[in-house]
Amino acid sequence: MVTVIDFVVQLLTSIVGLVDIFLTDVVLGVDPITAISFLVGAGLTTFAVGFFGYLVLGALVNLLTGLGSSARESTH
């Protein structure tokens, strides 16, 4: 059975290996135009995911607390 510590160690080792493969094979192993287009795509994707996460977080805060609610209150 895998423990949480073993999982975290394997995850961190995999991340380091992924960065190494990315730098040696993707960025340094291709022409500059391909590397730039890859980095631009990665930046756009990161921005889109971050912006969507920001919207989801705002919706959750609104749902749980009512802060930032844009609905008009009824005047009874």
Domain ranges of the chain: 10-64
- The pLDDT tens digits of the residues spanning 20-38 come to 888 888 777 778 888 788 8
What average pLDDT score do residues 41-70 get?
89
Instruction: Write down the H helix ranges in the chain.
Output: 4-21, 32-65
Confidence of residue 76 (pLDDT cuts 50, 70, 90): low
Residue 73 clears pLDDT 80, i.e. is over it:
no
Contact predicate 6/14, CB 8 Å: no
Only one residue has tokens 């287009």, namely: 37
Q: Give pTM, 2 decimals.
A: 0.56
- For the chain, what is the mean pLDDT? 85
Residue 28's CB is within 10 A of a number of other CB atoms, namely 9
CA–CA dist 35, 29 (Å, integer): 9
User: Could you tell me how many residues make up the chain?
Assistant: 76
CA distances from 2 to 10, 18, 47 (A): 10, 22, 34
